[in-house]
């Protein structure tokens, strides 16, 4: 096992406690030899305090070699040789674990390759979580108090303003402020958020952080009271509040802001549903023939009637020009497509395939959920070591939590329907498959949704002029 030996001593310790570099190296070299470990290198910080990591060059070199995979085991004489800070110890142990590197202390008998050592790491993890939660609470309280005092706390700035680093104040960006006013006026003139985003893209107006203009970006601008000189905290939460800001120059007047807010409320009843229902059963299998992207469904109520349309996701961020189309059109085209394919012969193996697909979907969803939970844990770690600010942490956590809610709902649906008889009974499946078109049109919306999700992988589609064209259906 490729082993790194780390030694450290301060001048005072060497004189009084006998922890000389020579003594440590000798003991650790013999210990490594007994365990048949291959010593890659010695990392020695001579005459340096163990209070922190940043001022010890050999620790920095050790960390880099662990990250590069040169080292798979770190050996020290005593824990306090490596660090005397619980926070630094937590960081190092998690770093070693992430890079598949074990950690050993000769005198404390800590060895993360065995059960006792791993138990130690878990105990350290408990302290880590406790420290992070305490830090998060302290930082949250600090940001809340600063906002109550009228201070702006997002050091990343916002479109229309530049954040003055070191001063902690906002300065109006004249060019961006001009477009903030235009966005508000365009919306009042009847432009949709999507059209405003496209207009800004066509005008080559850069976003604040170099991303794409989209509906969510426009929405955040239209709903941000910062443009009338106010600051807010905890948007959407019960304890959220808004107060007058300190030294913040307004870009628009309150009358314009309130007019836009009132118009948004009036339009709200026509807003689209964010996620699918049984009535939007095509959106999970539709794929854009132009860009290969997925589609999302929109539902609107007009004059008491429900209208459903599908739109390529790339259209929203202006990366694809594929036009949208109605649910009725894709329904008619899909049924016509079924008329022109040979009826499928029933094979009992389809039952196993259907079960396998359900199991695979369950596993995929669980993997996505686990990845998001790990990402949230990583973001918490970055926040705890001050790599990201609180607003960034809060924003990313909110997005992750929203995605987790959707994925968990989908997982619950699969688990629920896997016990139902809809399209899982052999005779029902046989009847549908053998005469696909004639039977599909007689299924209700929920049954069509279940059929498409379980038996159709992709429907590659595009729209030319006023016609929807299916290029391929992959069963």
Residues noted as catalytic: 10
Q: Could you give the 3-state DSSP secondary structure of residue 232? A: strand
> 362, exposed or middle or buried, with CB in 10 Å at 0-12, 13-18, 19+?
middle
C-alpha 218/C-alpha 108 separation (Å) is 58
DSSP codes of every residue in 28-92: HHHHHHHTT-EEEEEEEEET--SS-STT-HHHHHHHHHHHTTS-SEEEESSHHHH-S-HHHHHHH
Q: Which of 98, 389, 44 is nearest to 90 (CA)?
A: 98
Kindly state the tokens that stand for 418: 């896997």
Residue 461: is it exposed, middle or buried by C-beta count within 10 angstroms (0-12/13-18/19+)?
buried
Cα distance between residue 337 and residue 340, in whole Å:
5
How far is residue 365's CA from residue 395's CA, in Å, rounded to a whole number? 23
Type and span of the H or E element at 333: helix 327-339
> Element (H or E) spanning 119, and its range?
helix 115-148
Residue closest to 177 by CA, chosen among 135, 208, 154, 209: 208
> Scanning the structure block, which residue is given the tokens 């809610």?
405
Ramachandran assignment for 229, one of left (phi > 0), alpha (psi -120 to 50 degrees), beta (any other): left
Give me the sign of the Cα torsion angle 126, 132, 136, 138. Answer: positive
Give the other-Cβ count within 10 Å of 164's Cβ: 12
Instruction: Please check whether residue 427 is in contact with residue 344, taking contact to mean a CB–CB distance below 8 angstroms.
Output: no
The C-alpha angle 169, 171, 177, rounded to 5 degrees, equals 140
CA atoms of 65 and 72, how far apart (whole Å): 10
What CA–CA distance (Å, rounded) separates 461 from 324?
10
Hey, how many other C-beta atoms are within 10 angstroms of the C-beta on 345? 8
Cα separation, 216 vs 145, in Å, equals 28
């Amino acid at each position: 096992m490729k082993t790194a030996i780390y030694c450290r001593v301060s001048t005072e310790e060497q004189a009084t406690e006998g922890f000389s570099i020579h003594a440590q190296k000798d003991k650790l070299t013999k210990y490594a030899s007994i365990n048949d470990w291959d010593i890659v290198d010695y990392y020695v910080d001579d005459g340096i305090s163990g209070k922190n990591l940043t001022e010890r060059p050999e620790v920095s070199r050790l960390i880099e070699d662990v990250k590069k995979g040169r080292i798979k085991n770190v050996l020290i004489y005593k824990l306090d040789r490596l660090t005397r800070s619980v926070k630094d110890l937590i960081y190092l142990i998690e770093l070693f674990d992430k890079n598949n590197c074990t950690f050993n202390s000769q005198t404390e008998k800590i060895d993360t390759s065995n059960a006792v050592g791993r138990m130690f790491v878990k105990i350290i993890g408990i302290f880590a979580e406790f420290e992070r939660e305490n830090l998060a609470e302290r930082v949250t309280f600090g940001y809340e108090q600063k906002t109550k005092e009228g201070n702006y706390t997002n050091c990343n700035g916002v479109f229309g303003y530049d954040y003055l680093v070191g001063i902690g104040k906002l300065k109006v960006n004249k060019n961006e402020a001009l477009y903030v006013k235009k966005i508000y006026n365009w919306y009042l003139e009847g432009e949709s958020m999507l059209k405003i985003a496209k207009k800004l893209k066509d005008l080559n107006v850069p976003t604040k952080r170099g991303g794409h203009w989209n509906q969510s970006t426009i929405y955040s601008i239209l709903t941000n009271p910062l443009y009338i000189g106010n600051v807010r905290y905890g948007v959407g939460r019960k304890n959220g509040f808004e107060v007058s800001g300190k030294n913040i120059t307004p870009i628009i007047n309150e009358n314009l802001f309130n007019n836009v807010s009132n118009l948004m409320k009036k339009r709200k009843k026509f807003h689209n549903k964010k996620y699918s229902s049984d009535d939007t059963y095509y959106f999970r299998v539709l794929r854009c023939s132009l860009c290969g992207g997925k589609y999302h469904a929109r539902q609107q109520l007009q004059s008491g009637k429900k209208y459903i349309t599908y739109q390529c996701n790339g259209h929203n961020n202006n990366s694809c020009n594929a036009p949208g189309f109605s649910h009725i059109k894709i329904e008619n085209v899909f049924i016509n497509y079924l008329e022109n394919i040979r009826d499928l012969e029933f094979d009992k193996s389809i039952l196993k395939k259907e079960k396998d697909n359900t199991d695979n979907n369950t596993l995929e969803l669980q993997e996505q959920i686990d990845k998001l939970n790990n990402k949230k844990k990583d973001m918490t770690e970055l926040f705890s070591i001050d790599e990201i600010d609180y607003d960034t942490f809060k924003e990313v956590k909110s997005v992750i939590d929203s995605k987790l809610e959707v994925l968990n709902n989908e997982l619950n649906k699969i688990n629920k329907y896997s016990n139902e008889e809809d399209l899982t009974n052999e005779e029902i499946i046989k009847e549908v498959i053998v005469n696909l078109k004639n039977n599909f049109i007689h299924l209700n919306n929920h049954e069509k949704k279940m059929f498409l999700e379980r038996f159709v992988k992709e429907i590659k589609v595009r729209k030319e002029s006023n016609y929807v064209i299916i290029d391929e259906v992959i069963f």
